[in-house]
């Protein structure tokens, strides 16, 4: 693995980041499954600027 030293990196490159996912799945009956997911992520750049993101998504699946 080749890692660029920090003094050669652009100040908008990521210094630290983290992400987490939380999932909830439910089987309504033998044919119907449902789920929901919450995702959270954040980052800190070398120049100390920060950002974060959140997402919620859901699904319903019917199996024949």
pLDDT in tens, 11-62: 888 889 999 999 999 999 999 999 999 999 999 998 999 999 999 999 999 9
pLDDT of residue 21: 98
Structural domain count, the chain: 1
Helices (H), 1-64: none
Domain assignment present for 14:
no
Domain extent, residue 35, equals 19-62
Q: What is the pLDDT of residue 6?
A: 65
* Alpha-carbon distances of 26 from 32, 50, 61, rounded to whole Å: 9, 35, 11
**Quick check: is 5 in a domain?**
no
Task: Return d(Cα 48, Cα 64) in angstroms, integer.
Answer: 52
Dmax over Cα atoms in the chain, in whole Å? 58
Task: Dig out the tokens for 43 from the structure.
Answer: 């980052």
pLDDT given for residue 10 in this prediction: 85
1 within a domain of the structure (yes/no): no
**3 within domain boundaries:** no
The pTM of the full predicted model, rounded to 2 decimals, is 0.70
51 assigned to some structural domain: yes
Q: Please report whether residue 11 resides in a domain.
A: no
């Amino acid at each position: 693995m080749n890692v660029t030293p920090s003094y050669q990196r652009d100040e908008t490159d990521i210094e630290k980041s983290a992400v987490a996912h939380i999932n909830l799945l439910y089987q309504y009956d033998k044919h119907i499954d449902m789920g929901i997911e919450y995702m959270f992520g954040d980052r800190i750049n070398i120049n100390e600027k920060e950002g974060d993101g959140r997402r919620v998504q859901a699904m319903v699946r019917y199996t024949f």
